[in-house]
Amino acid sequence: MFDRDTTGLVEGGRWGVAGDLSEDDLATAHRRRAILLCRLGEYAQAEAAATESLATRLTAAGYTARAMPRCLLGDLEGAWADAERALLLDATHVSAHAVRGRVFLAMGRPADALADFDMSTVAESYDGDARVDRAECLLILGEPARAAAACDEIIATGPGAFHELGGLPPQGEPHRVHLLRARAHLALGDPVAALTDCFLAADLSPCSPEVYEVRAEAYQAADAMGDASADLAKAAELRAA
């Protein structure tokens, strides 16, 4: 458990775990510390904290807590192995399916990723990022209408409330769902709808070069070549900064 007797900020801005804890509570404390560190972008420290949790007790939650920072560090094989171990311990563990889905997506296996996201996003407390990743899979798999519908639902209902995964929260990339829907609209032959989403994305993340790259594509589809050129120049400027 986390409280002032078991955790605190120590020198260097790191979360420490202290106190007379049971084995279960100690494993949970290290796991929660791993999740906090992951959200802070301290992926190597998060991996180490999750390893400490697993050294105390092997749990599906502990393996999942280590899989996420490994994925974010680019260790896809290690992340996949941890997600597999988690699901061997608990085949219904929602966050393990979500993390494995992200690993599969990064590996270029969108069909496998979609199957995991279908499992993870039906939970009562779902992860908002996993729903966006699911829409990405649908688009990659050539199902733009389903991808657009998935984005509609995400935008209508807001981000999910499942926070066991660590990493960036859903609001970390607030423009992403609009860009996904814009790309889906482009695939469906509707550049006007795509431009609408691109402007919404630009309002949310005006410094994201991807926003201007996708909007340039939408302008090109709408035969507005001057606007497309301006957006491509803006994207290049942002990427060079």
Cα 40 to Cα 10, 92, 154, 168, distances in angstroms? 15, 27, 24, 8
Nearest C-alpha neighbor of 42 from the set 34, 54, 50:
34
Q: What is the predicted pLDDT for the residue at 160? A: 53
Phi-psi region of 142 (alpha: psi -120 to 50; beta: other; left: phi over 0): left
Contact (Cβ atoms closer than 8 angstroms) between residue 64 and residue 33: no
Reported as a single tens digit per residue, the pLDDT across 85-98 is 999 999 999 899 99
Phi-psi region of 74 (alpha: psi -120 to 50; beta: other; left: phi over 0): left
pLDDT higher than 50, residue 4: no
Confidence of residue 106 (pLDDT cuts 50, 70, 90): very high
Q: What is the predicted pLDDT for the residue at 145? A: 98
17: enclosing H helix or E strand: strand 14-17
Q: Which CATH superfamily is domain 173-241 in?
A: Tetratricopeptide repeat domain (1.25.40.10)
State the average pLDDT for the chain: 86
Q: What is the predicted pLDDT for the residue at 7? A: 40
Q: What is the predicted pLDDT for the residue at 13? A: 37
Q: What is the predicted pLDDT for the residue at 23? A: 86
Q: What is the predicted pLDDT for the residue at 88? A: 97
pLDDT higher than 80, residue 231: yes
Query: Measured in whole angstroms, how far is the alpha carbon of residue 148 from the centre of its chain?
Result: 18
DSSP state of 157: H
Q: What is the predicted pLDDT for the residue at 86? A: 97
What is the rounded average pLDDT of the residues 169-185? 82
Confidence of residue 174 (pLDDT cuts 50, 70, 90): confident
